[in-house]
Structure 1
């Protein structure tokens, strides 16, 4: 399939690839994302995931023919089981997107993304999600910014927790090499990922990736440690972190860098935070990924000492608008005719009548006049229940034909708990 209509340029084609050609796809992605790591090292790290998942989901754009053929673009996705409103669902976790620098602005990325959406839809998929290297790129392909996460840092002297923070003397915190407690880590994460919207379940290969601890990737920090909190019935939470030995004129100024913190009970959160804030020879604790409603800010005596920096993590794409809206849970009843624009997935474009309440939803095509007209990216942004459609309305990016429709949709789509992914894929 030739995607470039300009006959004055060498034709390029979008097609599948295989294990042997996979390093060429990695080469393109590494160059596009300015990754300076040795390609052999990247391939060694990534191959187990792709060997397990298969290479049929990897797409490449190739320029030239025969011996002159060159890979100039790539995209792929992992098949995740991700918690969504309404329960765990199959989600295409899009990753490895890149175009060779000499082939930018020639439609290569558009063709790759369009083909990928068609493939996901043909396989019965309803959702895609990704982490964006640049926020300006993926909105035009129908992805919406659905999850806002938090990073923060706390000076140790301000890490005191409230006296009424839940504490359980039966809980024990154990510091260990993560490999020794891997089964316990997986047990806790599996429980959380089943219900926390935005989390995906990790198989053995993903745990291998998460816990891999190459010395040249530590940036001068310690090997990774696991603080595991357990009660009489088993593990209840963990924190994965590294320490950095630093000294200043006034003595030790070490740092604790928390990569992941997970808990299934309030007292377990308290136990983990108190462990992290009480490491000797440290003065600063940083948290790379926290949910917007993480307990930290509520547990600190002085919450303003943990200034949050907000960032967009997951971008969500509804590959099948009707199917995705029909199987979602809703916080309030809503009836509306939604007119959807979707230039990369034409099967979604048109008017859909939504009738939903707490018991379920029905979504059908209709010829009725629309109550609201919007882009598919707006629905992707709002789908997980954190991003409101009202913001798009105020910005003039969607059209409300019947006043109150957007407010009604926001009330129905809202979730009280903040979505969270916490792991770049």
Structure 2
């Protein structure tokens, strides 16, 4: 496929190491121009995969950026699948409507296909942008702001047997990463942590705390083993009525219900606080089933991971299906035409096959809908109700909707 920008003055090329600072400065400018701490900047430089990053140049000026990370994403069935983690996408405000973004997306998806990766994934600063490139919103998460002065938790048996202790975040990093690694296969949408990425979750520049404390960490232990952790900050506040501080959760994982409950009960009970803020939590987060009054938890839902099937057949074969499915899709994909046409998917809990066919279609949809449904968090039935999937064979929609589902909500806790 071509990669021509409509403005002939703009040149698209793979990022060179010597150009990184200018490339990254153009990215920061596109996102408002606020400088980052030197620690954060150097970490992103170390994480950048130069041969998988693109820059658009107008003479000596960088006017566009797009990168990709070499991720492995858990899909239904627990298998990690190669996926391009699309990141650092920007176009200079001076170069809007010149085809720069389309050119970068075109080149990037061609590259991902050449690398042999079936998926591309991203989190969007503006969710309206990427649908036209075939990305579908595949996961959602919840943001909460809990009035802990009015809400209590009902915890499961064994919670009191879990020992909690404070620890310096860096001192227990390896143990916390081991907990995270054990959770990755259990939930679609999670990403295996590549070397160096663990540092991202310890970044703690004072300029970004908003008046809150330095990052704190509490670990949950059983029989001397760390079975959970939470990283958080506390933002003190007082008025004439007394203290009303805020607890801001950064990240937390636990290996079992008791450890999970012990950590959340701790967060609810921190002295001198009356508000708990937790963002980016899974839709089925267990503590939401423990609260005495969910209305006082300020639950809000927003989009999270956007999924793009780059190699449709390989992607659908890579996951399993929670109920038997044998269906023919007629797929529209104008941006990656190699995916367009009819495909027969046959699968169950043990595996799947997906190949081209000339058989009559059972369901008609675009690759965007398949991306949205891919991790099991968005129902093909709901997409059909919105007019985005058309059923040809009666019963095919219900069959596919059930088969594509996931017993646990997909979730992305990994920033990129």
TM-score bin (small chain):
over 0.9
- Deviation (angstroms), 1:10: 4.1
- Deviation (angstroms), 1:38: 4.9
1:247-291 Cα deviation digits (max 9, x unpaired): 022011111001112111010011101111111111111111211
Q: 2:371 aligns with which of 370, 373, 380?
A: 380
**Contact 2:369–2:388 (8 Å) recurs in 1:** no
Q: How does 1:147-226 map to 2 (within 5 A)?
A: 147-162=139-154, 165-226=156-217
- Deviation (angstroms), 1:32: 2.0
| More displaced 10-residue stretch of structure 1: 29-38 or 321-330 | 29-38
Q: 1:259 aligns with which of 219, 229, 250?
A: 250
Partner of 1:134: 126
Structure 2 unmatched ranges of 5 or more: none
Q: Does residue 59 of the first structure (1) align with residue 51 of the second (2)?
A: no
Distance, in Å, in 2 between the alignment partners of 1:310 and 1:91 is 25
- Deviation (angstroms), 1:73: 1.1
Cα RMSD (Å): 1.7
- Deviation (angstroms), 1:333: 1.1
Partner of 1:16: 14
Distance, in Å, in 2 between the alignment partners of 1:47 and 1:32 is 18
- Deviation (angstroms), 1:305: 2.3
Give the TM-score taking structure 1 as reference length. 0.93
Distance, in Å, in 2 between the alignment partners of 1:146 and 1:411 is 16
Q: Does residue 3 of the first structure (1) align with residue 11 of the second (2)?
A: no
Give the TM-score taking structure 2 as reference length. 0.95
Q: How does 1:4-403 map to 2 (within 5 A)?
A: 4-5=5-6, 9-38=7-36, 43-50=41-48, 54-63=49-58, 68-86=59-77, 87-162=79-154, 165-232=156-223, 234-403=225-394
Aligned length: 414
Q: Give the 3 Å change call, closer, same or farther, for CA 271–40 of structure 1 in structure 2.
A: closer
**Contact 1:239–1:260 (8 Å) recurs in 2:** yes
1:59-83 Cα deviation digits (max 9, x unpaired): 11222xxxx3332111001111221
Distance, in Å, in 1 between the alignment partners of 2:37 and 2:261 is 42
Q: Give the 3 Å change call, closer, same or farther, for CA 2–181 of structure 1 in structure 2.
A: closer
- Deviation (angstroms), 1:183: 1.4
Distance, in Å, in 2 between the alignment partners of 1:23 and 1:194 is 36
Structure 1 unmatched ranges of 5 or more: none
Distance, in Å, in 1 between the alignment partners of 2:327 and 2:249 is 44
- Deviation (angstroms), 1:29: 1.8
Helix, strand or coil: the match of 1:364? strand
Distance, in Å, in 2 between the alignment partners of 1:263 and 1:173 is 12
Helix, strand or coil: the match of 1:384? coil
**Contact 1:92–1:129 (8 Å) recurs in 2:** yes
Distance, in Å, in 2 between the alignment partners of 1:104 and 1:302 is 47
Distance, in Å, in 2 between the alignment partners of 1:361 and 1:75 is 33
